[in-house]
Every structure is written in structure tokens, then in C-alpha cells.
Amino acid sequence: MKTRTELFDFIRQQEVLYVASVDGDGFPNIKAMFAPRRIEGDSIYLSTNTSSMRARQFMENPKASVYIVMGGEGIMLVGTVEVLQDQESKQSIWRDEDVKYYKEGVGDPDYCVFKFTAQKGRRYYAGVSEDFRLEELK
């Protein structure tokens, strides 16, 4: 498996990643989302709408999965999502161009942050799949 630095550098290169939540009936729901705004430790921060179906699902059940694919390599991470709505969290990943989605700016009540914290993962590369735990990576 890659080192922790290589893993998160791979994620930083992405324009899109796929996020899976669990609906009320226990089924996975997958959504493409814009690239991470920030990566800190084992956490990936994403920008989204508070009113979204995904935000509601994560508030009810924080279990999540993120999938990243580039070329012939794919990485799945499994963990939990916290839906952050405090000003400090929102300001920390805000970009000026976000105003096109959130008309009231960083204080828009429909703007929130997903903090995905990874626990383990699975990597596919060159025909081989391998499981890993983040705490085991260098």
C-alpha cells in the first residue's frame, strides 16, 4: 500500500470523488462531489448544501464511503461523516466563487461542510486489490 502522504496526495489530485451514504432503508446512495477542499489528518473536508438528501442521511447515519479513481487505480475509503454547520468550519474551506451556489455567502444557512474521517480502505491497482487501515500506513 502507498504511504499516508502518497494516499492523500492522490486524493488531492482529484477533481471529483464519489461519496456513499446509507438511506433510511439501509441501501447505499452514491453521489459525485467536487474535490476535497482540505485534508487534515485522516479527514477530508467537502463543501455541500445543508438541505441536500446526503446531509440528511449523514445526520441520521454517519457511516460513509468515498471512492477515488484515476487511470487504472481506485481507492475506497470507509469511515464516518460529520455535518458541520458552525462558522469556523464553513469559513475554513470557503472560496470566493462559492457565492454562485450560496447567495448569502459563507453565512448561508444552506452551506455546510462534510468532514469525512477515514478508518480503513481498499486499493485496486494493476489487477491487485489490497485492504489497509489508515493507522498502519507510514
* Vertex 20 angle, CA 17 and 23, to 5°: 155
pTM, entire model: 0.94
pLDDT band at residue 138 under the 50/70/90 scheme: confident
- pLDDT for position 71: 86
pLDDT for 48-81, tens place per residue? 999 999 999 999 999 999 999 988 899 999 999 9
Give all domains of the chain, ordered by start, each with its CATH number: 4-136 (2.30.110.10)
pLDDT for 93-115, tens place per residue? 999 999 999 999 999 999 999 99
* Dihedral angle over CA of 73, 119, 67, 62, nearest 10: 180
